[in-house]
């Protein structure tokens, strides 16, 4: 009896241990979220389930007899045949291992399934285990990464890298089919200003709205991407049979006549600039095509925005030249490879020297003029290099005037060109004051030449700045009058001392009656306002005679003297002083 009791106690102990092991196993599977189906194939079909099946399927596994139909309802319809052939039929197919991914029906999640079948020595299947691991989150992350690899997260259009890849394929197909590809770049005009005025969030909304508008053109032969913050790209395969880039551009511009209404109910109107280059004429590869169309787009924006430009070889060569100048200019600024030349100005009435205009020259390593300001100053104004260049001109002009005053008691006026960018700097007046003090120059010897463009942004601020300069003693001259938004009516409000009449008036005043009348009226009115007039670009005697006749005060031009070196101008004014 005692032996029986001992055996019973041993069996109870073993059973409890098995229950404990089962509980531990259940806890592990429940916490890891994995699901298991165990098939005992030795005596019929004995199936056991482990893991949180109830949580996954939303129904109790205990109340649902586990069979093939249970899994049929668990697996997504489109994946059932794959699952059935690769996992449920493993023992029939004599497979030992199988692995794959399936979707589940009710929660549209993803599971990785691993199947293992054990066989006895005779090759008969004895047991099978199917293990399901929930990979829904991993799959979602993978799909998100895959999406980001190909698409722009803000607009849903192709991102830059994938668009270029599609463009490359399109160009290869064009070669095979002996056809062409057009690449259209679009840029929202003044987007930075718009973004600053409405805020970043609404700016993003505007970008999304514009992307939605151009997405309508997308089809098998037209691919659309976002290339930058407000730059979009459209690649068109075989445009003659599909649709040309200019037709797409016109269609977009027509749609943009209707303003976008943002979530704050604000209406925003935009325009776009466009650049077009065709393959293979506009680039031998996809990358070269992109590079060239970016240059064309830049030129479109440079020429006034809200317009479409096409690739031209001269345009690209000009751009490459300007880039080369820009790179060389950095080194020139660092080394101060500049020199001031001086073009004399004479009073028309008696040919006495008034002074000179200081003109910068870019000097090479041999001391020769390497480049004239018409070639590099426009580039410097665009990239900001005009600031250090302008500072150099101011300081060197002050230094030279100081030298002339000390050596020759210089009684003349030196005119210095000032860009709108310089004048807009907050510390510009202080910098000029410092230069005066540094070189001990009297401001009355210096005339600052400004162009009409300074009044385009904020005319009131510009006038306040000019008044500050005049209080320091500087003379102020308005240069190139007649080439900008010139209006005779606004002259009376400008705090200037001198008006320079542009060469375009001088060239045609004698031959063209209308220009003659305008020039004469202008000089007469300016004289009555108490301002001095300077005519620049005077190259012929009859021009001088005419200007003298209409009482223009000062003459500047090749007729009386080309821009000359410091030493040459010194000889000129020393000669005048000795008379």
**pLDDT of residue 440 exceeding 70:** yes
pLDDT bin (cut points 50, 70, 90) of residue 379 is: confident
The span from the CA of 181 to the CA of 241, in Å, is 11
Instruction: Give the DSSP letter string of 76-96.
Output: -HHHHHHHIIIIITTTTTT-S
Average pLDDT over residues 402-426: 90
For 538, residues 6+ apart whose C-beta sits below 8 A from its C-beta are 506, 544, 547, 555, 556, 557, 558, 559, 560
The span from the CA of 291 to the CA of 564, in Å, is 42
pLDDT at 28: 47
Q: Which among 151, 109, 134, 154 is positioned nearest to 29, based on CA atoms? A: 134
pLDDT at 470: 94
For 155, residues 6+ apart whose C-beta sits below 8 A from its C-beta are 207, 208, 211, 212, 226
pLDDT at 258: 95
Average pLDDT over residues 133-140: 83
The span from the CA of 415 to the CA of 400, in Å, is 12
pLDDT at 482: 60
pLDDT bin (cut points 50, 70, 90) of residue 107 is: low
Encode 213-224: b = buried (16+ Cβ within 10 Å), e = exposed: ebeebeeebbbb
pLDDT at 508: 87
More confident position, 322 or 545: 545
pLDDT bin (cut points 50, 70, 90) of residue 47 is: confident
Most confident by average pLDDT, 21-35, 125-139, 467-481:
467-481
**pLDDT of residue 529 exceeding 90:** no
Structure tokens at 286: 């996809």
The span from the CA of 419 to the CA of 447, in Å, is 14
For 321, residues 6+ apart whose C-beta sits below 8 A from its C-beta are none
Average pLDDT over residues 383-396: 92
Structure tokens at 577: 């002083």
Average pLDDT over residues 504-514: 86
Average pLDDT over residues 490-499: 83
Structure tokens at 496: 């200037």
For 72-86, the pLDDT digits (tens) are: 888 888 889 999 899
Average pLDDT over residues 315-327: 78
Average pLDDT over residues 435-459: 87
**pLDDT of residue 579 exceeding 80:** no
pLDDT at 276: 94
**Which of 98-102, 186-190, 311-315, 470-474 is predicted least confidently?**
311-315
Percent of the chain, pLDDT > 90? Answer: 49
Q: How far is CA 186 from CA 232, 255, 308, in A?
A: 5, 14, 9
**Which of 125-139, 422-436, 563-577 is predicted least confidently?**
125-139
For 241-259, the pLDDT digits (tens) are: 889 999 999 999 999 999 9
DSSP state of 36: E
**pLDDT of residue 354 exceeding 80:** yes
pLDDT bin (cut points 50, 70, 90) of residue 68 is: low
**pLDDT of residue 65 exceeding 60:** no
pLDDT at 48: 79
- What mean pLDDT value characterizes the chain? 86
Q: Angle 373-383/313-335 helices, nearest 10 degrees?
A: 80
Instruction: Give the DSSP letter string of 98-120.
Output: EEEEEEBTTT--EEEEEEEEEE-
pLDDT at 34: 78
More confident position, 285 or 32: 285
Average pLDDT over residues 467-483: 87
pLDDT at 225: 94
For 21-44, the pLDDT digits (tens) are: 555 455 444 445 578 888 888 876
CA terminus-to-terminus distance, the chain = 150
Structure tokens at 433: 């004051």
Average pLDDT over residues 17-21: 54
Radius of gyration of the chain from its Cα atoms, rounded to whole angstroms: 41
pLDDT bin (cut points 50, 70, 90) of residue 319 is: confident
**pLDDT of residue 422 exceeding 70:** yes
Q: Which residue has the tokens 């003459």?
A: 555
Cβ atoms of 360 and 338 closer than 8 Å: yes
Most confident by average pLDDT, 5-9, 145-149, 423-427, 459-463:
423-427
**pLDDT of residue 218 exceeding 70:** yes
**pLDDT of residue 448 exceeding 90:** yes
Cβ atoms of 51 and 30 closer than 8 Å: yes
**pLDDT of residue 489 exceeding 70:** no
Q: Angle 566-578/386-408 helices, nearest 10 degrees?
A: 30
The span from the CA of 493 to the CA of 489, in Å, is 8
Reduced to 3 states, what is the DSSP secondary structure of residue 282?
A: coil
Q: Judging by DSSP bridges, how do beta strands 97-103 and 110-119 pair with one another?
A: antiparallel
Q: How far is CA 549 from CA 513, 538, 561, in A?
A: 16, 14, 21
Q: Which domains does the chain have, with CATH numbers?
A: 23-139 (3.30.450.20), 152-311 (3.30.70.270), 337-573 (3.20.20.450)
pLDDT bin (cut points 50, 70, 90) of residue 559 is: very high
3-class DSSP string for 363-380:
ECCCCCEEECHHHHHHHH
The span from the CA of 563 to the CA of 415, in Å, is 13
pLDDT bin (cut points 50, 70, 90) of residue 9 is: low
Q: Judging by DSSP bridges, how do beta strands 413-417 and 353-363 pair with one another?
A: parallel
Structure tokens at 371: 């480049």
CA angle 327, 328, 332 (to 5 degrees): 125
For 325-345, the pLDDT digits (tens) are: 888 888 888 999 999 999 999
Most confident by average pLDDT, 122-136, 347-361, 501-515:
347-361
The whole model's pTM is what?
A: 0.58
Cα 185 to the center of its chain, rounded Å = 12
**Which of 21-30, 513-522, 570-579 is predicted least confidently?**
21-30
């Amino acid at each position: 009896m005692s032996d029986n009791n001992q055996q019973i106690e041993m069996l109870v102990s073993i059973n409890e241990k098995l229950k404990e092991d089962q509980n531990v196993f259940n806890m592990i599977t429940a916490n890891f979220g994995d699901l298991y189906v165990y098939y005992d194939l030795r005596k019929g079909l004995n199936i056991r389930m482990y893991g949180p099946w109830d949580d996954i399927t939303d129904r109790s596994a205990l109340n649902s007899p586990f069979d093939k139909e249970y899994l049929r309802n668990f697996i997504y319809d489109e994946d059932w045949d794959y699952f059935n052939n690769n996992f449920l039929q493993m023992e029939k197919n004599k497979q030992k291992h199988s692995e794959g991914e399936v979707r589940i029906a009710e929660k549209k999640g993803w599971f990785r399934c691993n199947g293992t079948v054990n066989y006895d020595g005779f090759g008969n299947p004895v047991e099978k285990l199917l293990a399901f691991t929930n990979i829904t989150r991993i799959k979602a992350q993978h799909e998100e990464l895959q999406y980001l690899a190909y698409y722009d997260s803000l607009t849903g259009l192709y991102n830059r890298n994938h668009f270029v890849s599609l463009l490359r394929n399109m160009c290869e197909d064009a070669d095979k089919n002996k056809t062409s590809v057009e690449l259209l770049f679009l840029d929202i005009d003044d987007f930075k200003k718009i973004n600053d005025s409405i805020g970043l969030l609404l700016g993003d909304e505007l970008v999304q709205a514009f992307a939605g508008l151009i997405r309508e053109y997308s089809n098998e032969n037209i691919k659309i991407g976002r290339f930058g913050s407000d730059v979009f790209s459209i690649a068109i395969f075989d445009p003659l049979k599909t649709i040309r880039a200019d037709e797409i551009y016109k269609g977009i511009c027509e749609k943009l006549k209707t303003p976008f209404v943002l979530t704050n109910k604000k209406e925003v109107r935009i325009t776009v600039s466009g650049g077009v280059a065709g393959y293979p004429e506009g680039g031998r590869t996809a990358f070269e095509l992109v590079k060239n169309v970016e240059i064309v787009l830049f030129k479109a924006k440079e020429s006034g925005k809200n317009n479409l430009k096409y690739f031209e070889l001269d345009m690209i060569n000009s751009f490459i030249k300007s880039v080369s100048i820009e790179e060389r200019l950095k080194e020139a600024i660092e080394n101060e490879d500049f020199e001031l030349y001086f073009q004399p100005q004479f009073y028309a009435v008696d040919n006495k020297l008034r002074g000179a205009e200081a003109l910068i020259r870019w000097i090479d390593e041999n001391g020769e003029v390497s480049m004239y300001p018409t070639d590099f100053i426009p580039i410097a104004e665009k990239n900001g290099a005009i600031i250090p260049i302008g500072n150099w001109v101011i300081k060197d002009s002050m230094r030279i005037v100081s030298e002339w005053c000390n050596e020759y008691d210089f009684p003349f006026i030196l005119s210095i060109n000032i860009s709108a960018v310089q004048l807009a700097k907050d510390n510009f007046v202080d910098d000029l004051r410092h230069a005066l003090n540094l070189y001990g120059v009297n401001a009355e010897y210096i005339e600052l030449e400004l162009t009409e463009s300074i009044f385009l942004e904020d005319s009131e601020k510009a006038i306040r700045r000019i008044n500050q300069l005049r209080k320091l003693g500087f003379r102020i001259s308005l240069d190139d009058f007649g080439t900008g938004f010139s209006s005779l009516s606004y002259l009376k409000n400008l705090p200037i001392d001198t008006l320079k009449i542009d060469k375009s008036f001088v060239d045609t005043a004698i031959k063209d009656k209308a220009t003659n009348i305008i020039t004469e009226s202008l000089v007469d009115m300016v004289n009555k306002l108490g301002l001095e007039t300077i005519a620049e670009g005077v190259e012929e005697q009859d021009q001088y005679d005419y200007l003298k006749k209409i009482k223009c005060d000062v003459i500047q031009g090749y007729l009386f003297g080309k821009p000359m070196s410091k030493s040459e101008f010194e000889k000129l004014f020393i000669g005048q002083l000795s008379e």
